[in-house]
Structure 1
Amino acid sequence: MTDSNLLVELFVEELPPKALRKLGDAFAGVLFEQLKAQGLTGADSRLTAYASPRRLAAHITEVASQAADKAVSQKLMPVAVGLDAAGAPSAALLKKLAAIGADAGAAAGLRREGEGKAEALYYDHTVKGATLSDGLQKALDEAIARLPIPKVMTYQLADGWSSVNFVRPAHNLVAVHGTEVLLSVGALGLKANNHTHGHRFEALVDPIVLRSADDYAEQLREQGAVIAGFDERRADIVRQLQAAAERVGGGVRPIDDDALLDEVTALVERPNVLVCQFEKEFLDVPQECLILTMKANQKYFPLLDVEGRLTHQFLVVSNISPGDASAVTGGNERVIRPRLADAKFFYDQDRKKSLADRVPGLAKVVYHNKLGTQGDRVERVRAIARAIGAQLDNEALAAGADLASQLAKADLLTDMVGEFPELQGIMGGYYARHDGLPVEVAEAIEDHYKPRFAGDALPRSDVGAVAALADKLETLAGMFGIGNLPTGDKDPFALRRHALGVIRILAEQRSSIELGWLLQTAFGVFASRIPADTVFNDASAQLAEFIYDRLAGSLREQGYSAQEVEAVLAQRPQRLAEVQLRLDAVRAFAALPEAAALAEANKRVSNILKKNGAELLADTRPTLALLQAPEEIALLQAMNTLYPQCEAKLAAGDYTGQLRLVASLHQAVDAFFQNVMVMADDPVLRQQRLALLSGLQWHMSQVADLSRLAA
């Protein structure tokens, strides 16, 4: 058995660019995994994946020509079934042996293991290791079957009769082990060989005959004008983009967009970055419109100045490198001009009609068949926004949020948003400024979708925060009310994202509004503002749990332990702005030497009270004269001394200080449990002791459920 490096390549027509990286990683990964499973790779074998617009390939080091033989022990059947009374093999045993490829003579060498009815027959034999040709064929079939293909194509093979299904028509298969071609390997109607193809126009040689598996990337680069590796090609584009921006000068930089970079990497085989430009008059159009049309339609990289403003120059990643690039740059400039002209036309036309004049048209746009039109939705959002402003006792805020909510969806009826839905909200902000509306209202219209994704900025003002909260709460309450909930990975109305948005606005903007009040308000607004035939339920409790679940996941991602998160959220804190402070307090408490014992005691108290149906009462005060044991009297006195201090700490938001005061009770609590029987025979004394524990538990649980910290 000899070890050499292996190269496998599928040469196909242009692959879908947005899926190329995933296809390349999957193809190479499954090949490697399957060869390893068959014992054809070693512990030091390494995988290199290649993916370009017209190829998926894998280079694997130290691949054996044949796997080592393997000893196998196969359980056949119970002895009672396999052997008759005389110890001769039964018909069932002989049939089983035949099925696994063993002859009848193998029955004499079967091993017996176990005792009594559990005793079974085992067939010990050696399985010959798979040859590379057979193993690669199996691995290749599996890799093709498991490709995450976004959409399958069916095409005919060269014989004109057969057809296969694949992501794109495949034209060549390479399978080279060292320098040996694995001729017996085939896939998609192709037989393996050792030649491939380079760049459509700039390859120096076609076909390229591979000298060995290790020469693949080098020969493609030198003879085929192709950078085969996705990451290498991507890095080359980044380098060229930076160099081109430096040539332009003035501190300009290409726009930072990883998705665009990945897509362009998947469109070219040998990148060549060129500088182009358009007429400066187009810069009067909002730069978001121009940037989007350049990125989405043409895959260009806009250039921004030092202040982040769009310039009239942009970068093109070409797939060819002519001596005179003027034809390429001129062609791209001609292509972009009508795109930008369309954007300018839409912008000019949209400004001829105010946002307020567009609002009545929302009544003709269906939002959801059970929840009415966008016009109905706008009225619900306005009602929630006004209620939040009133709750905050801020009439100006309520009025601003109401106006922003009324106009926020009007840009859905503009030509620009009709062409580029991604600009909704953004264009509303521009049109609001053009209409002469206050800055905070214009910003709120633009910001009411925020945060749109993880890490996105929050609304810039209180008006924007209220409008955004109202918009997200209306969506959440509406969908939960009609039972339209996310399932698995399906969340068509982005309810998880809306819930995280609510959490972030309330927490990060230090809102004093309670979550329960918000949800009750949102569901209450729907009572008279939905179609008469819609069955709508108050699912505020269910929605609250959904939001707390999202909050728990978010906090764990931020590095808090599951125990810390559970301890705080078990209390269902209503002001989400306080959650961070409570978590920090719990973490500080857990670091104290007495924390573990107090957490155990808290858990014990909880169990006792739960078992006896005792309620937690803030003002529970046992009668000192009815207590007997010195330890329970000492605990009550310590509690009476600390309680006013604890309440003061809570009122000041000093949760860490409150838990430190609670921690100072640990000696009194330990002494109580060591020397006092809570469930005394005397019912009066028993009730007094339960009341003592109830009061203790109440004050120990004001910041968090400390029992969740117990191991």
Structure 2
Amino acid sequence: MTTETLLIELGTEELPPKSLKTLATAFYDGIKTQLDSSDLSYSEIKWFATPRRLAVQVIDLVTKQQDKIVEKRGPAVNVAFDDAGNASKAAQGWARSNGITVEEAERLTTDKGEWLLYRATVAGKSVEELIPDMVTTALNKLPIAKPMRWGNERIQFIRPVHTLTMLFGRNIIAGEALGVSSSNQLQGHRFHSEGLVTLEHANDYQAVLKSAHVVVDFGERQAQIVKQIEAAAQNIGAVALIDEELLNEVTALVEWPVTLVGTFDEDFLNVPAEPLIYSMKDHQKYFPVTDKAGELVNKFIFVANIESKEPNAVIFGNEKVIRPRLADAEFFFKTDKKQSLESRLASLESVLFQKQLGTLKAKSERIASLSQYIAEQLSENSADAYRAGLLSKTDLMSEMVLEFPQVQGTMGKYYALHDGENNNIAQALEDQYRPRFAGDSLPEANIGCAVAISDKIDSLVGIFGINQPPKGDKDPFALRRAAIGCIRIIIEKQLDLDLLSLINKSIELFGDKLVNNNTANDVLDFIMGRFRAFYQEQGISVDVIQAVLAKKPSAPLDFEKRIKAVTYFGELAEAATLAAANKRVGNILAKFDGELYQVFNLELASEQAERDLADVYQKISLKVAPLMADKNYQAALTELAALKAPIDTFFDNVMVMSDDEAVKINRLTLLNEIRNSFFAIADISVLQ
């Protein structure tokens, strides 16, 4: 079948840069889904996006759908006609609905009888017929939070629309979308191209726009920007800080990237680097620059959307714009240093953490006490932990953090050092929010760990304590992230802490503010639920996680040891048999309605297989006991794996449910003791 290239482009006013990639891929998905469901084959489909366009190009698209044979079965012949051979009303209605008479219907004969049959060939539709509706459907499904109207039109879209191109090879597909008719006219660059440009063939899309100073391929444009930034940084002997989110946004802001380097006053480097960096990135969309040692230098790299004949004028303009931004940061820093963090404690009384749980000052005091408690558990300086917890939220009241919320904690560190606080306390103020996201770094020292854990536990206990846990995808207090953060810190920093102990301490610190009598269990269960996601990301199988979750160990380090032990055990040759045996024993015991003996009675053992099993188990138990005391679960399970052979022999030769009640109970007691030895580590019966 004949194929051709299809090009669909919507030309608009400047689209929101942070939404551009999402809009482009959603438009692509909408077109692709409809092409696939319409049985229109192609070899490749690509999306394009610039500030002023969304486009999809389909390579080697067939010109029309395949013809289809449609069959519709009607009533059975024995009910379609009466005894005189006249068609029934049901048969006449069915025939009429298919545009035929009963006499024109074919017959379908099967081993179950004979039916009336309508068979017809439906001609496939052409691309020209199908595409306009597909474009409209795809546009209607774009994720647009706030559509707008323009001029006197009632049509709504994210930005005003100027052009629509639906080109199949050289042929313009007639149709319209969002009030604009299809043509082969495209918008070039706003400044470097005069008027509209003509696209003669869909294959020429990228080349024609490049001649109009538009790099339409998002990936190609982004690669150009990265290459230009790196070259510009190398020219000044520096390293550019290329942030992926900023890079995507800048790529969405320009159609013809031209990278330039600006300079700011060196005096601004007396301000901490973080607010300067955020000011350059967030406010101006500039790329900050550091020296080879990672220290910020007084240069910045920016990407213009114009190839100016006077680049120095463009640079001067950007330098002029950045100066007041950096001056603001400098002013905030100097102003904030006039007031100590400790003196800001009182102002936290004016800020609510949550109306039922009190102010940020109350939260700070709880964090301080819980941090002190954790430090004592870790044999760390509890006074430093208390102090760091108490000051943890004070930088939120500083001018700098009010302007740049992203530097909360970081500015706390700088201000603490300025106030004469020791390094442990200062660093803990920065570390309290870590990890902020998946893969983020953890607190550096244990004092920081104590404050970070305390902050997260306080939020978990408080919000669950007033019966407002996360529901669905709504998690306004980021409790899921807090739970994962606690798990990561404790496990990766090898901290010997018990979550239930911390939760109960936190509940105590809330006093009478909590109304949920089951807060401790609810919080622990919630955190337990996060272990699944934590370990699945590491490739641990769900059955291993479930085996350990059955024990509900509340100390994350202990949980980790059990996970490693069960993972190791699951790879042993004996694992499958012992898992099945544990499951079998569990099922047997579940049906037993009596009481077991306290210990297995060897005198009641009449079969050699059960005596042998009891003997092997007793010897293994002596080895396992000290291993369990040391929490060496892997070695303990390795020892218990030696029970495979005697357990197999036992089940092959011994009737567990003996007619003799005493013998039966004795055998169940032995099996229960063995099962409990495994279950002391994990429920291995769930292993696949």
Give CA-to-partner distance per residue, 1:541-567, whole Å, 9 cap, x none: 222222122111121111111122222
Measured in 2, the distance between the counterparts of 1:8 and 1:616 equals 76
Question: Aligned to 1:72, which of 57, 70, 73?
Answer: 70
Match of residue 525 from structure 1: 509
Match of residue 515 from structure 2: 535
Alignment of 1:568-647 (within 5 A): 568-612=548-592, 620-647=598-625
Offset of residue 684 of structure 1 = 2.1
Residue identity matched to 2:105:
A
Alignment of 1:161-200 (within 5 A): 162-182=153-173, 184-200=174-190
Is 1:364 paired with 2:350?
A: yes
Give CA-to-partner distance per residue, 1:508-561, whole Å, 9 cap, x none: 111211222222222232233x3xxx7344322222222122111121111111
Is 1:212 paired with 2:192?
A: no
Match of residue 671 from structure 2: 693
Measured in 1, the distance between the counterparts of 2:85 and 2:482 equals 72
Q: For the Cα contact (< 8 Å) 2:3–2:62, is it kept in 1?
A: yes
Question: Aligned to 2:100, which of 99, 103, 111?
Answer: 103
Question: Aligned to 1:498, which of 479, 482, 486?
Answer: 482
Percent sequence identity over matched residues? 40
Question: Aligned to 2:468, which of 475, 484, 498?
Answer: 484
Measured in 1, the distance between the counterparts of 2:605 and 2:467 equals 54
Change beyond 3 A, Cα 1:665–1:615? farther
Give CA-to-partner distance per residue, 1:87-115, whole Å, 9 cap, x none: 65544554455555x23357623646684
Change beyond 3 A, Cα 1:74–1:615? farther
Change beyond 3 A, Cα 1:538–1:639? same
Match of residue 363 from structure 2: 377
User: What secondary structure is seen at the aligned counterpart in 1 of 2:150?
Assistant: strand
Match of residue 32 from structure 1: 32
Give CA-to-partner distance per residue, 1:103-130, whole Å, 9 cap, x none: 33576236466848xx875533222111
Residue identity matched to 1:187:
A
654-663 vs 495-504, which moves further: 654-663
Change beyond 3 A, Cα 1:90–1:384? farther
Q: For the Cα contact (< 8 Å) 1:381–1:470, is it kept in 2?
A: yes
Q: For the Cα contact (< 8 Å) 1:614–1:690, is it kept in 2?
A: no
Offset of residue 418 of structure 1 = 0.8
Measured in 2, the distance between the counterparts of 1:23 and 1:425 equals 35
User: What secondary structure is seen at the aligned counterpart in 2 of 1:513?
Assistant: coil
Question: Aligned to 1:405, which of 372, 385, 389?
Answer: 389
Give CA-to-partner distance per residue, 1:649-702, whole Å, 9 cap, x none: 223343222111111111111111112222222222222222211211111223
Match of residue 23 from structure 2: 23
Measured in 2, the distance between the counterparts of 1:455 and 1:425 equals 19
Change beyond 3 A, Cα 1:244–1:104? same
Change beyond 3 A, Cα 1:386–1:216? same
Measured in 2, the distance between the counterparts of 1:462 and 1:490 equals 32
Q: For the Cα contact (< 8 Å) 1:387–1:398, is it kept in 2?
A: yes
Match of residue 557 from structure 1: 537
Measured in 1, the distance between the counterparts of 2:150 and 2:350 equals 45
Residue identity matched to 1:138:
D
Match of residue 341 from structure 1: 327
Change beyond 3 A, Cα 1:440–1:88? farther
Q: For the Cα contact (< 8 Å) 1:609–1:615, is it kept in 2?
A: no
Alignment of 1:150-169 (within 5 A): 150-156=145-151, 160=152, 162-169=153-160
Q: For the Cα contact (< 8 Å) 2:461–2:503, is it kept in 1?
A: yes
Match of residue 61 from structure 2: 63
563-572 vs 320-329, which moves further: 563-572
- Aligned residue pairs: how many? 688
Measured in 2, the distance between the counterparts of 1:685 and 1:672 equals 14
Q: For the Cα contact (< 8 Å) 1:678–1:689, is it kept in 2?
A: yes
User: What secondary structure is seen at the aligned counterpart in 2 of 1:352?
Assistant: coil
Measured in 1, the distance between the counterparts of 2:365 and 2:73 equals 71
Give CA-to-partner distance per residue, 1:371-390, whole Å, 9 cap, x none: 11112222222232233234
Change beyond 3 A, Cα 1:89–1:163? farther
Is 1:243 paired with 2:227?
A: no
Give CA-to-partner distance per residue, 1:300-338, whole Å, 9 cap, x none: 000011222111001010001112201110000000000
Measured in 1, the distance between the counterparts of 2:413 and 2:618 equals 57
User: What secondary structure is seen at the aligned counterpart in 1 of 2:149?
Assistant: strand
Measured in 1, the distance between the counterparts of 2:607 and 2:580 equals 22
Match of residue 138 from structure 1: 133
Q: For the Cα contact (< 8 Å) 2:432–2:448, is it kept in 1?
A: yes
Match of residue 453 from structure 2: 469
Q: For the Cα contact (< 8 Å) 1:175–1:192, is it kept in 2?
A: yes
Is 1:128 paired with 2:112?
A: no
User: What secondary structure is seen at the aligned counterpart in 2 of 1:622?
Assistant: coil
Match of residue 303 from structure 1: 289
Change beyond 3 A, Cα 1:11–1:86? farther
Residue identity matched to 1:473:
I
Measured in 2, the distance between the counterparts of 1:519 and 1:266 equals 46
Measured in 2, the distance between the counterparts of 1:219 and 1:302 equals 34
Q: For the Cα contact (< 8 Å) 2:356–2:466, is it kept in 1?
A: yes
Which runs of 5 or more structure 2 residues have no equivalent in the other structure?
Answer: none
Q: For the Cα contact (< 8 Å) 2:562–2:681, is it kept in 1?
A: yes
Match of residue 660 from structure 1: 638
5-14 vs 381-390, which moves further: 381-390
Residue identity matched to 1:108:
A
Residue identity matched to 1:344:
E
Q: For the Cα contact (< 8 Å) 1:155–1:169, is it kept in 2?
A: yes
Change beyond 3 A, Cα 1:291–1:88? farther
Measured in 2, the distance between the counterparts of 1:602 and 1:434 equals 62
Q: For the Cα contact (< 8 Å) 1:113–1:121, is it kept in 2?
A: no
Residue identity matched to 2:583:
K
Q: For the Cα contact (< 8 Å) 1:174–1:194, is it kept in 2?
A: yes
Q: For the Cα contact (< 8 Å) 1:4–1:61, is it kept in 2?
A: yes
Alignment of 1:251-290 (within 5 A): 252-290=238-276
Give CA-to-partner distance per residue, 1:182-217, whole Å, 9 cap, x none: 1x22111111111101101112x5321112000010
Q: For the Cα contact (< 8 Å) 2:490–2:557, is it kept in 1?
A: yes
Residue identity matched to 1:317:
V
Measured in 1, the distance between the counterparts of 2:80 and 2:629 equals 79
Match of residue 412 from structure 2: 428
Change beyond 3 A, Cα 1:155–1:680? same
Offset of residue 442 of structure 1 = 0.6
Measured in 1, the distance between the counterparts of 2:185 and 2:375 equals 71
338-347 vs 560-569, which moves further: 560-569
Q: For the Cα contact (< 8 Å) 1:174–1:192, is it kept in 2?
A: yes
Give CA-to-partner distance per residue, 1:425-455, whole Å, 9 cap, x none: 1111111111100110111111111111001
Alignment of 1:448-463 (within 5 A): 448-463=432-447
State the superposition RMSD in angstroms: 2.2
Change beyond 3 A, Cα 1:316–1:93? farther
